[in-house]
Amino acid sequence: MVHDHTPHYQTKYSQRLNFYQAPPESTVKVEDVELWALERLQVLKSLESALIRFKTEDDIRQAVEPTLHQYLPLASNHNRRAPLAAERRKDHISHFVLRLAFSKTAESRAWFLRFETALFRLRFAATDFQERQTFIEGLPNFRLHLVSAARKEALAAELRAASSLAVTKSFDSEGFFEVDFEQVADLVQRRQVFLRAGKAYLPLSDQGVLVINEFKRRLEQGLQMAAKALNRMDEDDRLAPILDNLSSQQVSMEYQSKSTNGQITAADVDKEVHHFPPCMRHLQGTLAEQGHMRHSGRIQYGLFLKGIGVSIEEAMVYWRRAFRHLSDDKFQKEYAYNIRHMYGLEGKRTNYSPYSCNKIITSNHPGPGDNHGCPFRHFSKEQLVTSLQQQKLGEEDVGSITELSDQGHCQLACTRHFEITHRARLPTTGASIAVERIIHPNQYYDQSVALVTKE
């Protein structure tokens, strides 16, 4: 896959791994293109759900393996029997089609970037040393700056302290290289690398991180270019309907809340609490208790309320009453704007949608004094147990929930919570109860309401 500086097309596939620097020379049937892209999308989606559920690389790999094997097998050069060229060509083409389809909005670009990088990481880890080395050496514009023995000696104590156990053990034989800290931002963020004067020092055995980051960086640029190309594309290009169809697949990944505006009044909100998922119960409870709530909590809770059908007028009344320590004047000045903003009446006038579990769990972690977030992720075990007990859950039920949350399965724990709190209303089929997995607080709410109205 070594190409010269300004490659036009990539047509040869001597390596299993691919940086997708150049588009494929395509003489493929349109139907195949669409099918392949959809299959790749399956892989990325299964990767997404594995990343939510599992923590270790091994677990993630195992979870994705069947899908990967079915849709996008990619054998190594050692494998004499696999149709190497065909597999790699499919990998290449499906990547480029999806890249184009997902380049449309900033959101879909971010999604694609995240999971393509995860896929590359998975494959890189599964590639043996020799093949990796050949691949890295063949990468254009990619060179490592090695640290001299004297420099390594001088920094030895700090290098050891910042290294993993494995590296500390083989420290004497380990070579180190030096890069700008920006190039290994993820390692810096996790404090897994030694820094001195703006340089990061990594053991050679960690060079994979750098390769993966480089993959990500170049793909990010590639997506920007794809977005421009998409703008210029002919309306009646044969690819256009396919791309539209593909990019619409991304939207369907988000839950659309059922309620429409204006059915729930400010006075009703507190009566609806028994339908709320734990995160929103907690916010509602804190607000009632303290008469105040910090910004991130207001957004998470406010958008949820909007999702269950609280109109902007009612929201104003609700929040005004809830912030009971404030004068009208102060409320108008400091909070009203914020609430109107959530309803798209101020600022950029975006019609914000309620946050999904995924967003609540993985972004904007609560800091000291914050109450937003997901109880299954952001509560200490003790707090979680206490709050479940306050909801009158029995010991056994509490145990079955925390067992899931302890393993990091927040949404499964929440689904279990739903089952337990709605047991009486759910149709039972033997011992197991069938409930849709909770992926969105508003879905929890809608499901709960639906059960009651069914009666």
Partner 1 sequence: MSLVTAMDVDTSIDVRSPEYPVLLRSFYDKIFPFTAYYDWLNGCQPTPTKLFQNREFSFTIGNDIYIRYQSFKDADALKAEFLRLCPGKIDIGAVYTTRPRDKKSVLPSAFQPTEKELVFDIDMTDYDEIRTCCQGGDICARCWKFMVVAMKIVHAALVEDFGFRHIMWVYSGRRGVHCWVSDERARRLTNEGRRAVVGYLEVIRGGASQERKVHLPAQLHPHLARSFGIIKEYFSELILIEQDVLRRSDGWAKVLKLFSDEDVRRELRAAWAEDDEQASLDRWDTLDSVLAKVANQRKNKKSGNLALTKRDIVFQYTYPRLDDKVSTAMNHLLKSPFCVHPKTGRVCVPIASDQFDEFDPLAVPTVHQLLAELQANPQQPGQTSLRPYLKIFQDFVAGIRRDQRTIKEGAQR
Query: CA 240 to CA 226: how far, in whole Å?
Result: 14
Choose the one of partner 1, ligand SF4, none that binds residue 196, judging by a C-beta under 5 to 8 angstroms depending on kind.
Answer: partner 1
* Near partner 1 by CB under 8 A: residue from 274, 365, 425, 437: 365
Do 288 and 301 contact (CB within 8 A), yes or no? no
Question: Binding ligand SF4 by CB under 6 A: which of 36, 194, 201, 376?
Answer: 376
Stretch that binds partner 1, among 32-40, 56-64, 69-77, 375-383 (CB under 8 A): 375-383
Contact between 385 and partner 1 by CB under 8 A: the answer reads no
Tell me which residues in 322-351 interact with partner 1 (CB under 8 A): 333
Q: Alpha-carbon distance 89 to 428, whole Å? A: 49
- Least distance from ligand SF4 to the Cβ atom of residue 416, Å: 10
CB of 365 to ligand SF4, least distance (A): 13
Q: Does 375 bind ligand SF4 (CB under 6 A)?
A: yes
One residue of 380, 428, 432, 453 binding partner 1 per CB under 8 A: 380
Tokens of 406: 């302890």
Using CB under 6 A, which of 374, 384, 401, 404 touches ligand SF4? 374
414 in a known ligand binding site: yes
Is residue 278 part of the contact set for ligand SF4 (CB under 6 A)? yes
Instruction: Specify the DSSP class assigned to residue 436.
Output: P
Given a contact cutoff of 8 angstroms between Cβ atoms, the answer to whether 229 and 21 are in contact is no
> How many helices (H) and strands (E) in the chain?
23, 4
Smallest gap from Cβ 288 to ligand SF4, in A, equals: 18
Pick from 410, 416, 420, 447 the residue near ligand SF4 by CB under 6 A.
Answer: 410
Site string for ligand SF4, 328-367 (x = CB under 6 A): -----------------------------x--xx------
In whole angstroms, give the CA distance from residue 151 to residue 148.
5
Which residues have C-beta within 8 Å of that of residue 324, sequence separation ≥ 6?
291
Residue number with CB closer to partner 1 (150 or 197)? 197
425 binds, among ligand SF4, partner 1, none (CB under 5 to 8 A by kind): none
What CA–CA distance (Å, rounded) separates 338 from 306? Answer: 13
279 is in an annotated binding site: yes
**Taking the C-alpha atoms of 226, 231, 233 and 238 in order, what is their torsion angle to the nearest 10 degrees?**
80
Q: How far is CA 311 from the centre of its chain?
A: 30
55 binds, among ligand SF4, partner 1, none (CB under 5 to 8 A by kind): none
Is 10 an interacting residue with respect to ligand SF4 (CB under 6 A)? no
374 is in an annotated binding site: yes
3-state class (DSSP) for residue 270? helix
What is 177-203 written as a DSSP string?
EEEEGGGGHHHHHTT-SEEETTEEEEE
| CA–CA gap between residue 207 and residue 22 (Å, rounded) | 23
Q: What secondary structure does DSSP assign to 314-341, as a single string?
A: HHHHHHHHHSTTS-HHHHIIIIIHHHHH
| Nearest residue (CB) to ligand SF4, 218 versus 409 | 409
Within residues 138-167, the interface with partner 1 by CB under 8 A covers: 158, 161-162
379 binds partner 1 (CB under 8 A): yes
Q: How far is the CB of 341 from partner 1 (least distance, A)?
A: 13
Residue 277 interacts, among partner 1, ligand SF4, none and using kind-specific CB cut-offs from 5 to 8 Å, with: ligand SF4
Strands 194-196 and 145-146: unpaired
Contacts from 395-401 at CB under 8 Å and sequence distance 24+?
A: 401/376
Question: Which residues bind to partner 1, rule: CB under 8 A?
Answer: 158, 161-162, 181-182, 185-186, 188-191, 194-199, 282, 286, 333, 364-373, 375, 378-380, 382-383, 387
